Amino acid sequence: MLSGPLEGVIVLDFTRVLAGPFCAMILADLGAEVIKIERPKTGDDSRAFTPIVKGESAYFMSINRGKKSVTLDLKNPKGREIALRMGEKADILIENFKPGVMEKLGLSYEEFAARNPRIIYASCSGFGQYGPLSEKPAYDLIVQGLGGIMSITGPDKNTPTKVGSSIADIFAGVFTAIGILAALHHRESSGKGQYVDVAMLDCMVAILENAIARYVATGVTPEPIGNRHPSIAPFATFKTQDGHINIACGNNELWRRLCVALNRPHLYEDARFKTNADRVANWADLEPLLQEAFIECPTEKWLKEFDDAGIPAGKISNIADVVKDPHVLARDMIVNVVHPVAGNFTLPGIPIKLSMTPGKIKSPAPVLGQHNEEVLTEYLGMTPDDVNALEEEGVI
């Protein structure tokens, strides 16, 4: 009941910042042994990202839990050789450098595969390993812009809006995890690893949902329409006396109950709002009438009324609400870990609940080079003296 489904799988993790580390974190949560290779002295760039808690980056700690940290100067021939030898022991390698960097370091898929044909080598990048933009620097903001999601997110058509978390990075991380696990399944029968190429931009195109289908079917370019549903009403966000509320009334019966709960029974009789199609067509009339009702009471009062009436509704939780939400806590989606330097720290939990092999957050994020001796002695048979010598040479 305790170990994760990927127990025994060894991941060599050359990733930095977000997309790659997020992917490797998922694998670690599911039981894989993830060995994060970091630049000596400074490590992953995100170790410097603010806010800093007792010298440790909150950002870094939040997405590198459960991993081991080994420092390695990949530009040093000895460092490169150690990386390749580690690759002989690994099932999976993940990197998210700009395309071409691993090749220049002499650490391409071909070089690892020559020594270990079973290795699955995943590259996660902004624009992928080929295509006209592949060598451009990729920032989440720029990829969200090019990927179309910003053109359909926002309060109105003049305000294209970035999603508040870096979903281009995060989707690339999760799709890379899927690619790796699919390749792992294939390796069971073929005995061979392969190369996995995932691009943030490709992932943005893949998650546009019905936007492409709608555009192709109608020729109309979708625009941001705020929080309302394009073809169901009322299905939107309203201001309340003290905040906001989301309402989802997908049929006439729910519409009737809403009119009663809002103390606006006449709206249900109003010919402009008889059917869902009417309410969508006359939304410009309907929205202000509903808004002036919602503003009369605080969110919690409405939620209570709507819950009693069976009307789907919910508040807009802020982060402070989320971390103490009883349902979120009941699902172990907020987890406390004790970091050796930063002390008590709170992390999001594991969103994949497996009955037999649930996985777990094995450990807090490592401090830089924490597992140098452990990993190099265990995997490469070095002695502590060998490790010390490498450290003195600046290789690790």
- Is residue 244 part of the contact set for its own copies (CB under 8 A)? yes
Amino acid at 195: Y
Cα distances from 138 to residues 99, 101, 320, 382, in angstroms, run 11, 14, 31, 38
Positions 146 through 185 that interact with its own copies (CB under 8 A): 146-155, 159-167, 169-171, 174-179, 181-185
Phi and psi at 37, nearest 5°, equal -95, 120
Confirm or reject binding of residue 128 to its own copies (CB under 8 A).
Answer: yes
Task: Name residues contacting its own copies, limited to 83-102 (CB under 8 A).
Answer: none
Nearest approach in angstroms of CB 269 to its own copies is 26
Number of residues in contact with its own copies under rule CB under 8 A? 145
User: Does the N-terminal peptide bond of residue 234 adopt cis geometry, omega within 30 degrees of 0?
Assistant: yes
Closer CB to its own copies, 265 or 340, in the complex: 340
Q: 105 or 208, CB closer to its own copies? A: 208
CB 372 within 8 A of CB 82: no
| Residue 124 touches its own copies, criterion: CB under 8 A | no
Is residue 289 close enough to count as binding its own copies by CB under 8 A?
no
Contact flag: residue 195 with its own copies (CB under 8 A): yes
Is residue 242 classed as helix, strand or coil in its secondary structure? coil
Using the rule CB under 8 A, which residue among 42, 81, 212, 384 binds its own copies? 212
- Dihedral angle sign, alpha carbons of residues 344, 345, 348, 350: negative
Q: Which residues of 141-159 are buried (b: 16+ CB within 10 A; e: fewer)?
A: ebbbbbbbbbbbbbeeeee
Measured from the CB atom, the residue of 51 and 381 that comes closer to its own copies is 51
Contact predicate 87/117, CB 8 Å: no
Answer for which of 39, 101, 118, 222 binds its own copies (CB under 8 A) is 222
Q: Which of 71, 194, 240, 276 binds its own copies (CB under 8 A)?
A: 194
Q: Which of 332/386 has CB closer to its own copies?
A: 332
Among 37, 94, 102, 203, binds its own copies (CB under 8 A): 203
3-state secondary structure of 58: helix
Q: How far is the CB of 386 from its own copies (least distance, A)?
A: 33
Backbone region of residue 288 per phi and psi (left: phi > 0; alpha: psi in -120 to 50; beta: other values): alpha
Known catalytic residue: 229?
yes
Q: Which of 86, 143, 267, 390 binds its own copies (CB under 8 A)?
A: 143
346: nearest Cα among 360, 359, 333, 358: 333
Q: Is 388 in the site for its own copies (CB under 8 A)?
A: no
List the interface residues with its own copies, window 322-351 (CB under 8 A).
Answer: 322-323, 325-328, 330-331, 333-334, 345-351
Per rule CB under 8 A, is residue 251 in the interface with its own copies?
no
Residues 103-122 that bind its own copies (CB under 8 A): 109
Could you identify the residue written with the tokens 């044909």?
117
Minimum gap (Å) between residue 361 Cβ and its own copies? 12
Residue count of the chain, please give it.
396
Site for its own copies in 32-71 (CB under 8 A): 49-53, 58-59, 61-63
- CA 127 – CA 122 distance, rounded (Å): 14
The one-letter code for the residue type at 332 is D
Query: Cα–Cα distance between 377 and 396 in angstroms, integer?
Result: 13
Catalytic residue among 186, 229, 244, 371: 229
Among residues 10, 18, 70, 262, which is the contact residue for its own copies, using CB under 8 A? 18
β-strand partners of 35? 12, 68
Catalytic residue positions? 229
